[in-house]
Amino acid sequence: MRKHLAVLTALAVAVVAVAVVALSSSSAKTAGSKAGALPASATASIASASITEKPGENPVGQQLYGKKSGGTLTVYSGEDFEHLDPGESYFELDYAVMYATQRPLFTYPPNSNTTLVPDLATAMPTTANGGITDGGKTVTVHIQPNVKYSAPVNRDVTSADVAYAIERGWNPNVANPYMEYFQTLKGAPGKGGPIAGITTPNATTIVFHLTAPQAQLLIGALSLPLSSPVPESFAGPMDKHAPTTYGSQAEVATGPYMIEANPSTGVFAGLGYQPGKSLTLVRNPNWSASTYSSAFHPPAYLDRINVEIGGEASVIGPQVLKGSDSVQLDTPANTVVALAYEHYPRQITFTPGSGDHYVALDNVHGVFTNVNIRRAVWANLDRAAIVKLRGGSLVAEPATHFIYPGNQGYTQSGGAAGPNYPWNKDVDGNLQVAEHYMKLAGYPSGKYTGSETVQIVAGNNADAPAIAQVVDQDFTQLGLKVRLTEVDQPTMYAKYCGVPKEEIDACPSVGWIRDFADPLTTLFETFYGPAIVPTNNSNWGQVNEPAINKEMVTAENTVNPTQAAAAWAKVDDMLVDNAVAIPEEWDNQPNIEAGDVAGVNDLWDTGSWDFMFTSLK
């Protein structure tokens, strides 16, 4: 009878998750671990002992070339992939496969967060080389000749394939989630067919015509999987299905690897990819290492990559740490991070700049329309406690503003200390400063005495409930009456925090990961007023300050990268000044590997394993 109701099953799942965490810590105890001698939650304090004592490798400076070729890597991932179509994928795990099998026009080398290099393109477009003309409104890209598709297409890639790949993003059956980066192309938004803003004068040249001087933004966006060529002759019929079956049934590759597929049809479903079970990457026989520029040439050491999908994180972690030829693709459990920290320090890496979390505050309804109340709750929030709840200083650091490490403009906007405002100084909360701003907000006692209740909606998974409790407690300390509702994370976004008419006052632990190094990808969707939409909204606080909006447009249209970074730093400063939301922490992504693996993390992709550069020792 217990399988009758999904609700009961969900309950069982929750119970096992709790038990698994508890048992993992006891397993570490058996091994005589100091970390394991403490309850799972206490791993936070171990990790926060001192950031200077990190035993794990920081992936910056990792060896990329001159390593051993051959062998099979086993990749464990509790989570499944979401979309394996370059037009649809928008998830770190998907990206690990996309960048190994597809070639976008530009890419970030594994060791860089901010420097783009040509991949399918022959060179980075600049004003000097004629790639950027018309005051930043035209971008010309030449693509490498002799790049071949895998079977069954088996022909050279052309610029028309890149044009189709981008244009199909507007096809509702593909529904690419980041088409806003292409909205200034002439004729955008398209419907899936050709638009005036993309022309292909010859087989190796593609020209982008923009309505605004946003060449840098476009170039950044062309590093996303969407710019990987897609042959219309092969994908077109599949794109007529809703949703497209390109990427779920069949696909062709241009990168060094391909999803194992039937060579005569390209179909990988049931062969190279079995949803929820496994994915197999094999060498793409049509790939040639000579079709790259000198700035980026992936060595593709491995012969085969077997991804084993599913399972419990606290079982997968020890399998990797104690096993051989394997890595974990998704995030290791906190207990596993502690185990690796203590016993396998050379097998764990921490990648900074892997996203941020903050408390979204409703700027246009309720209590938080008053900027001084927002400043007060910011001042009082114990961000250091939240860092501990996240897992400690190895995996998180207190956030002080919204352009997080690894983004252009991070240094200009104050680096780790952030903009110098009184409410931003004490990461462990400062009640006196908070009360000062409550007084400025019109509450002479320093405590809120109004009648409104603050509705908080938080996630009920992992550490979200504990963080919500911290937020609840710090709000209550200022006299605010709080009603806290906890729901599962998809519901939190889709039914409450992402629906403006719900008028949720605060949503703790909303998270954001940049799409590429341009600060626009961190700030625009989340804080630009005109970007607010009635459902699936990502500007959770409905921030719509005309001055901020104007400054964002200025930054967006700044062609010079240095000036653009400074302009975005100014936007960041305005966001902090207006206390539009409360930054909680910046993420350092942990990743684990077996002792005989020379893994390479992509700094720009939350430290995800780069299969083109990873090798066996």
Partner 1 sequence: MLRYIIRRVLWGILMLILVCAATFVLFQVLPTVNPAVLRAGRNASPKIIHHIEVEFGLNQPLWVQFWRYLKHIFLHFNFGYSLYSGQSVLSLIENRLPATISLTVGAVVLWVVIGIPVGIISAIKRGTFLDRAAMGTALALLSAPVFWLALIAIYLFADELGRWPILPGPDSYVGLTADPWMWFKSLIMPWLVLSATQAAIYSRLLRGNLLEVMGEDYIRTARAKGLPERKVIWRHGVRAAITPVFTVLGLDIGALLGGAVLTETVFEIHGIGLLNFDAISHSDFPIVQGTTLLAAMFIIVANIFVDVGYAFIDPRVRYS
Instruction: Tell me which residues touch partner 1 (CB under 8 A).
Output: 1-6, 9-10, 12-13, 15-16, 19-20, 23-24, 27, 30, 76, 79-83, 88, 90-91, 172, 175, 177-178, 242-243, 245, 248-249, 269-270, 274-277, 308, 310-312, 314-316, 318-319, 322-323, 487-488, 490-491, 494-495, 525, 533-536, 538
CA 412 – CA 421 distance, rounded (Å): 15
CA 557 – CA 616 distance, rounded (Å): 45
CB of 615 to partner 1, least distance (A): 21
- For partner 1, the closer of residues 3 and 128 by Cβ is 3
Copy the structure tokens of residue 446. Answer: 């320093």
- For partner 1, the closer of residues 204 and 521 by Cβ is 521
- For partner 1, the closer of residues 80 and 577 by Cβ is 80
CB of 17 to partner 1, least distance (A): 9
Structural contact between residues 504 and 491, judged by C-beta atoms closer than 8 angstroms: no
In this structure, the chain runs to a length of: 617
- For partner 1, the closer of residues 3 and 451 by Cβ is 3
- For partner 1, the closer of residues 367 and 487 by Cβ is 487
Cis? peptide before 213, omega within 30° of 0: no
CB of 554 to partner 1, least distance (A): 24
Cis? peptide before 194, omega within 30° of 0: no
Q: In this structure, are strands 106-107 and 117-118 parallel, antiparallel, or unpaired?
A: antiparallel
- For partner 1, the closer of residues 310 and 442 by Cβ is 310
CB of 324 to partner 1, least distance (A): 8
CB of 510 to partner 1, least distance (A): 12
Q: What number of other Cβ atoms are within 10 A of residue 145's Cβ?
A: 12
**CA distances from residue 54 to 180, 586, 604 in whole angstroms, order as listed:** 39, 17, 21
- For partner 1, the closer of residues 15 and 196 by Cβ is 15
- For partner 1, the closer of residues 90 and 296 by Cβ is 90
CB of 113 to partner 1, least distance (A): 21
CB of 532 to partner 1, least distance (A): 11
Angle separating helix axes 383-390 and 464-476, nearest 10 degrees: 170
CA 367 – CA 451 distance, rounded (Å): 10
- For partner 1, the closer of residues 288 and 324 by Cβ is 324
Amino acid present at 73: L
C-alpha 593: how far from its chain's center?
21
- For partner 1, the closer of residues 117 and 250 by Cβ is 250
DSSP assigned state of 290: T
Residue 590: strand pairing partners: 350
CB of 35 to partner 1, least distance (A): 16
For 207, the enclosing helix (H) or strand (E) is strand 205-209
CB of 13 to partner 1, least distance (A): 6
CB of 504 to partner 1, least distance (A): 15
Closest CA to 458 of 473, 447, 445: 473
**CA distances from residue 85 to 3, 310, 536 in whole angstroms, order as listed:** 34, 21, 22
CA 609 – CA 234 distance, rounded (Å): 30
Residue that the structure tokens 């949703």 belong to: 243
DSSP assigned state of 156: B
- For partner 1, the closer of residues 280 and 286 by Cβ is 280
Q: What number of other Cβ atoms are within 10 A of residue 29's Cβ?
A: 14
CB of 233 to partner 1, least distance (A): 21
CA 446 – CA 241 distance, rounded (Å): 60
- For partner 1, the closer of residues 67 and 304 by Cβ is 304
- For partner 1, the closer of residues 94 and 505 by Cβ is 94
CB of 534 to partner 1, least distance (A): 6
Residues 6+ apart with CB under 8 A from 6: none
CB of 283 to partner 1, least distance (A): 24
Structural contact between residues 471 and 422, judged by C-beta atoms closer than 8 angstroms: no
Angle at 6 between CA 3 and CA 11, to 5 degrees: 90
CA 329 – CA 347 distance, rounded (Å): 13
What residue spans of 168-312 are helical by DSSP H?
215-221, 232-239
